[in-house]
Structure 1
Amino acid sequence: MSNPSDFQLPETFRGIQFTSPSKPGSVVELPTPLPSAGSVILRPLNSHIVSYAKEVFSNGNVRGYKYPLPLIPGTNGICRIAAPATDTPHLQVGMLVYTSGIIRPRDNLDMLPLLQGIHMGASPEGQALMNGEWRNGTWAELVKVPAENIHVLNEHILTKELGYSFEDLGYISTLAVPFGGLSDIGLRPGETVIVAPATGNFGSAAVLVALAMGAGKVIAVGRNEAKLKKICHDTNNSKVVPITISEDLGADTAALQAHGPVDVYFDISSNSAAKALYIKAGISALRRGGRVSFMGGIMNDIDLPYHMMMFKALTLKGTFMYTPQQVNELIRLIETGLLPIGEKGKIQVSGRFPLHKWEEAFENASEAGPMKATYFQPNVTG
């Protein structure tokens, strides 16, 4: 029977474990997982911290996410391969990789995926997966993930030729989300796309992704004029047009249409925007044959302009996260220089934290703002 030493792994590893969303987390030491068929053991270098982490793992889980306890959270990250399984010959110890936390059941692709280390969803299959093999996440010194979630990075090109740090590469986690939605609706070069709201983590990333995909114009929508101006300043691109919404449907629609025909409306609204009029304004501003992408976190029904959508022959596409193929396409955009990140893309690291400073890290992530990222660094030596 195999043991950790057979794979040159330590007997135990450390991670941030939560036993209740109403109790503080603690750094614990657990037995090291072993690679089994179709899996890989990784050493996280930069583990992404979502902006809403404290709403899920502390403060009583006000978002109501479903996950098993006890739990080491964490979804995506930049890692090195520590131990691949024997049936993954392409994956070698020491490779630099991006790992995605989206786990799809291998025997039923129609089932909604789960988010490793954060949300197991509502289906019995998802609950079984997260209660079993894929329980813990990347906020730890080691993590076990499905082999298909691994995306090998060209370390020479990214770190030597383009000069990116591992922290810079961590922003892939944020960029991948809007890339999934914009890819699903087929954003084409030269098209005009509305991004709403554009002032959050994923919205501001959508502006960058749309530009890299060749958008002719990106209309960045938000309530905070100062944040919109900063996004325009940081992108330093005349194709980005800021629009401060007024919550007057007619006025907002006219403002969105003032810059020519609009091809795509990309929405990544939070749950608090369920009754916001800017969603209807964004849809109403579309040309005939336009497309709508819904990627937000609104949990309730919203008011849609049914007759106008029918009359204009609009297409509405909902997207949850992204596919493995889309992640590979995004990485190619970065490796070819078409999508600048790090200092080149005006993207900043808001904070970097050891595991035991999780409370400070949660606060930093929640306050970071657009085009910024916060990370745990479980293996700081890289």
Structure 2
Amino acid sequence: MGDRHLLALDLKAGETLLVSGATGNFGSATVLTALAMGARQVVTPGRNEAVLVDLKQRFGPRIIPVRLSGDGTQDIAAIDSATEGPIDAVLDFLPPSADASVARTAIMAVRPYGRAILMGGVGMLGGDDLSLIKGQWVYEPRAVHTMVGMVRSGQLDLNQFAVTEFALEEVNHAVSHAAANNGPFKLTVVRP
């Protein structure tokens, strides 16, 4: 989900996290995980009003939705005015097709000496580039144990996910279902 990225980001309880791309599959799962890890606030900028409303309804006052306009200066101001203090870290899940200016906007909202991880590949298709100083591929093995521990303790509520199961012999139906029913908090599972 997002645990491995949040561990790489060194997210600590009580910090404010901005999830760029929070309205997508990975981003919305990361919002859930960040809350379970003790984030004070999770800022969820985006343009999909319906998903922003859903995130706020699901998780309450710790979610800070910010409707993006596409104007970087205006969006940074909107993010700054929406939060109750500085943003400690940004985790970006925007796809390669997204304009790098959106990721740059999120990064510019972070406090001095804050942290940012670009996970989605924004800017990789050419055009406007983003320069990275430090990166990480995959995750440490401890991420799996941390995630399992959060599920077992009840900190991470997997009931947020709508799961549709298929038998192994129905794998083609499962693939079709996943393609047609993709979105935040929707999972398609194939069971042997």
Partner residue in 2 for 1:263:
88
TM-score, normalised with respect to structure 1: 0.46
Compute the displacement of 1:357 (Å). 3.1
Structure 1 distance, partners of 2:121, 2:167, is: 29
Q: Within 5 A, what are the aligned runs for 1:204-219?
A: 204-219=28-43
1:240-288 alpha-carbon deviations (Å, 9 max, x no partner): 0111211110111111111121110110111211x24221110111111
Partner residue in 2 for 1:277:
101
Larger radius of gyration: 1
Which residue of 61, 65, 82 corresponds with 1:242?
Answer: 65
Which residue of 154, 162, 180 corresponds with 1:348?
Answer: 162
The structure showing larger relative contact order (alpha-carbon pairs under 8 Å, at least 6 residues apart) is: 2
Cα separation, partners in 2 of 1:321 and 1:231, compared to 1, 3 Å:
farther
The code of the aligned residue for 1:325 comes to R
Partner residue in 2 for 1:228:
52
SS in 1 for 2:12: coil
Whether 1:179 aligns to 2:3 is yes
The range that moved more, 287-296 or 315-324, is 315-324
Q: Within 5 A, what are the aligned runs for 1:296-375?
A: 296-298=120-122, 299-300=124-125, 302-304=128-130, 317-342=134-159, 346-349=160-163, 351-366=164-179, 367-375=181-189
Structure 1 distance, partners of 2:154, 2:3, is: 16
TM-score, normalised with respect to structure 2: 0.88
1:310-357 alpha-carbon deviations (Å, 9 max, x no partner): xxxxx9643333221111111111111221212xxx2211x2122343
Structure 2 residues not aligned, in runs of 5+: none
Compute the displacement of 1:189 (Å). 1.2
Does the Cα contact within 8 Å between 1:220 and 1:243 map onto a contact in 2? yes
Structure 2 distance, partners of 1:257, 1:316, is: 25
Partner residue in 2 for 1:148:
none
Structure 2 distance, partners of 1:316, 1:190, is: 26
SS in 2 for 1:218: strand
Does the Cα contact within 8 Å between 1:193 and 1:219 map onto a contact in 2? yes
Structure 1 distance, partners of 2:136, 2:68, is: 25
CA RMSD of aligned residues (A): 1.9
Does the Cα contact within 8 Å between 1:269 and 1:295 map onto a contact in 2? yes
Partner residue in 1 for 2:21:
197
Cα separation, partners in 2 of 1:265 and 1:242, compared to 1, 3 Å:
same
Cα separation, partners in 2 of 1:255 and 1:280, compared to 1, 3 Å:
same
SS in 2 for 1:277: helix
- Residue-pair matches, total: 187
The code of the aligned residue for 2:88 comes to D
SS in 2 for 1:289: strand
Partner residue in 1 for 2:191:
377
Following superposition, which runs of at least 4 residues in structure 1 exceed 6 angstroms of deviation?
none
Structure 1 distance, partners of 2:33, 2:116, is: 16
SS in 2 for 1:243: strand
Does the Cα contact within 8 Å between 2:100 and 2:129 map onto a contact in 1? no
Compute the displacement of 1:233 (Å). 1.4
Work out the percentage of aligned pairs sharing the same amino acid.
37
1:109-136 alpha-carbon deviations (Å, 9 max, x no partner): xxxxxxxxxxxxxxxxxxxxxxxxxxxx
Compute the displacement of 1:364 (Å). 2.2
Structure 1 residues not aligned, in runs of 5+: 1-174, 307-314
The code of the aligned residue for 2:183 comes to G
The code of the aligned residue for 1:327 comes to V
The code of the aligned residue for 1:263 comes to D
SS in 2 for 1:318: coil
Which has a greater percent of helix? 2
SS in 1 for 2:184: coil
